[in-house]
Amino acid sequence: MPGSYDQARQHAERLVASICDDELELLRDEPIEAISVLFEVPVDVRSSVGSGSDCSVAGSYRAEPTPHITIASFPSAGRTLFTTLHELGHHLCRLDGDIQDWCFACGDPRAEEHVADAFAAEALLPAELVNARIGPRGPTAAAVGDLFGESNASREACCVRAAQRLLGAGAVLVARGQIIQFAAQRALPFFIARELDQGPDGLFGELAHGGTARTDDLRIRFRSGNLSSPLFADATVVGNYTFAVLVEHTLPWGGLSIRAADDGPIGGEVDCQYCDFVFSDVFAPPCRRCGDRPCPKCRRCGCEPKRAPVRRCTSCFLELPRATPADVQLCETCR
């Protein structure tokens, strides 16, 4: 649902507005103790914690039988803080009837995740700070890096807050080397997962050792090997990480955003040994056992038994029956 991201932000703003300034300060300074006192929700900190595949942070919220938050401990205080407030966002969402009704009605399985992300980012990065760095055209990669440098917020929180200021479909993400660590996205037709390897030859691999770059043809490489439709991108390295802003149009850094109408996503190629045909732009994921993509026509992959090669009569070139002995070269008519 295209509007779900904006509506999630509006719900998050309402949740943050319901908390007084003194309580917000406590949540930023001592989140674990503040959540336990203000909301009566205990928070456990563990060295590692399993989280649902849809959750953007390493933490979990349990509503039954009593509310409980568990988070992973990170070397980065900012990421620990973002994770803790994200899980508090889940708790507040479960207590809010309007948000629950909206999550049920909007049809986006990640609706509550969007609200929890937006809540944590809104609580950590006040509007005054964001407005000072991000203008009316939207965020650049350098602005996201400045936002991170001037706050105690995590890189993820800065990405979420910056993505709220995009004027159209796009994403704000952070990568370490060639691996996308986290992406906050808006109205894109695909999902950018965590820990997504973009390869050494892509934009993020090229920036691994520092610098800045802009391109009008960045394609996200998914785990299936498929490539997204092209995006305009602005990227800059801050420390050991790369911040990047990706947009479909309306470039925050200025310039034209003209794209060919047929410039879409790119799939893989299948050379089917059974159909004797080569298929291009196949988007089905590879088979987990053999690694081959299934044929779009017969649906078979490399796991199927190998078909015996076709043999033909050397005189009339008709296909010989499979039972024909190997030393026979002619069909019955030509013998």
239: left (phi over 0), alpha (psi -120 to 50) or beta: left
Fold topology of 130-265: Beta-Lactamase (3.30.450)
- In this structure, what DSSP letter does residue 125 have? S
β-strand partners of 231: 218
Helix (H, G, I), strand (E, B) or coil at 5: helix
Show the CA angle centred on residue 165, arms to residues 60 and 220, nearest 5°: 70
> What would the pLDDT profile of 107-148 be if each residue is shown by its tens digit?
788 899 999 999 999 999 989 999 999 999 999 999 999 999
Tokens at residue 267, please? 């799939």
Distance (Å, whole) CA 127 – CA 284:
43
Tell whether the model's pLDDT for residue 53 goes beyond 80.
no
Helix (H, G, I), strand (E, B) or coil at 41: coil
309: nearest Cα among 278, 277, 334, 273: 273
| Stated pTM of the model | 0.75
> What would the pLDDT profile of 255-302 be if each residue is shown by its tens digit?
887 776 557 788 888 888 778 778 888 888 888 888 888 888 888 888
Question: What does the DSSP assignment read for 130-158?
Answer: HHHH-BTTB--HHHHHHHHHTSS--HHHH
Residue whose structure tokens are 């988070």:
71
Distance (Å, whole) CA 114 – CA 186:
10
Task: Determine which helix (DSSP H) or strand (DSSP E) holds 12, and give its type and residue range.
Answer: helix 4-17
Q: What is the pLDDT of residue 17?
A: 94
β-strand partners of 44: 70
H runs (alpha helix) in 57-184? 77-95, 97-106, 111-124, 127-133, 141-149, 155-163
φ and ψ at 59, to 5 degrees? -165, 175
> What would the pLDDT profile of 177-230 be if each residue is shown by its tens digit?
999 999 999 989 889 999 999 999 889 988 977 899 999 999 999 988 899 999
Overall residue count recorded for the chain in this entry: 335
Q: What is the pLDDT of residue 196?
A: 94
- In this structure, what DSSP letter does residue 190 have? S
Mean pLDDT on 38-66: 76
Mean pLDDT on 70-94: 89
Distance (Å, whole) CA 183 – CA 181:
7
Strand ordering across the sheet containing 212-218: 196-197, 179-186, 170-176, 241-247, 231-238, 212-218
Q: What is the pLDDT of residue 175?
A: 96
User: Domain map of the chain by residue range?
Assistant: 1-124, 130-265, 267-304, 311-335
Q: What is the pLDDT of residue 260?
A: 64
Query: Is the distance from CB of 269 to CB of 193 less than 8 angstroms?
Result: no
**Is 1.10.10.2910 the CATH number for 1-124?**
yes
β-strand partners of 242: 175, 237
Distance (Å, whole) CA 37 – CA 285:
48
Q: What is the pLDDT of residue 228?
A: 93
Q: What is the pLDDT of residue 40?
A: 94
Residue whose structure tokens are 């049920």:
104
Tokens at residue 72, please? 């992973």
Using alpha carbons only, how large is the chain's radius of gyration in Å? 26
